[in-house]
Amino acid sequence: MNNITLEVADQIATITINRPKSLNALNSETLAELNECCAEVEKRKDVRVVILTGSGAKAFVAGADISEMVNATPAEGRAMSLLAMEAFNRLENMPQVTIAAVNGYALGGGCEISMCCDIRVAAENAIFGQPECGLGILPGFGGTQRLARLVGKGRAKELIFTCDKINAEEAYRIGLANKVVPADQLMDECKKIAAKILKNGSYAISIAKSVINAGLDMDLLNGLRMEADAFGFTFSTHDKKEGMTAFLEKRPSELTDF
């Protein structure tokens, strides 16, 4: 792969978007590679948490690649959209927990890709924004939908209509970032969060993730019914028996399902 690197250690996969000269802008090749990389990682049982980041000290992802889009035809735009949709949906629905380590600019498609992750940890120098309306387009990698679901309709509209860029603290205040840390502590902090997640049942977490994601598109009653079905299902797992038995026997549990 030319634009994506993958490292796996201690059950954590780190996926790095690696085009620092273009501030990690997403061109078609990068989107295709990201899709391929996520497809590989989602099958790996030795990976339980994924950290997504950008290379260099300046940018997470500065958006879709404007130099590729400037002369694209509607058909090329559509092809790019389908490619991105596949990659972004795959990232959002991986069985593993995904953490975006936002190490600088997260603009346009960069903000949108961070929102496909389960958790966003921002470095103090992170800048978020949806500047598409200033380019004569609108957020097209899910920004109009995912941003509104994360921060509410009013704030999403304000960000999209004004094209304001907001810093990490503001992103934290409105619920776009889960946490803000000094830049040099970003990866350590993500790994600390990963370590907490790894102590818990990965299979139960993956089912909880799927129920949360699907439930956000349902009415409450149907979401609760889905939760009840999934909850019942966990009573069939090794981890449920082990987790509860270990508690009653006052010993640490060994949760191994995934």
Enzyme catalytic residues: 112, 132
Among 28, 81, 93, 210, binds ligand DAK (CB under 6 A): 81
Q: Stretches 7-15, 131-139, 167-175, 190-198: which one binds ligand DAK (CB under 6 A)?
A: 131-139
Nearer to ligand DAK, 85 or 198 (CB): 85
Site for ligand DAK in 54-73 (CB under 6 A): 62-67, 69
Q: Tell me if 243 contacts ligand DAK by CB under 6 A.
A: no
With contacts defined by CB under 6 A, name the span among 17-25, 191-199, 235-243, 245-253 that binds ligand DAK. Answer: 17-25
Given candidates 132, 176, 203, 206, which one binds ligand DAK under the rule CB under 6 A? 132
141 vs 258, which CB is nearer to ligand DAK? 141
Q: Which of 60, 88, 128, 141 binds ligand DAK (CB under 6 A)?
A: 141
Task: Determine the angle formed by the axes of helices 238-248 and 202-215, rounding to 10 degrees.
Answer: 120
Q: Which is nearer to ligand DAK, 107 or 190 (CB)?
A: 107
Does 20 bind ligand DAK (CB under 6 A)? Our answer is no
Scan for tokens 């890709």, then name that residue: 113
Amino acid at 154: G
Nearest 5°: the CA angle 71, 73, 77 is 100
Under the rule (CB under 6 A), what is the footprint of ligand DAK? Answer: 22-23, 25, 62-67, 69, 77, 80-81, 84, 105, 107-109, 131-132, 135, 140-141
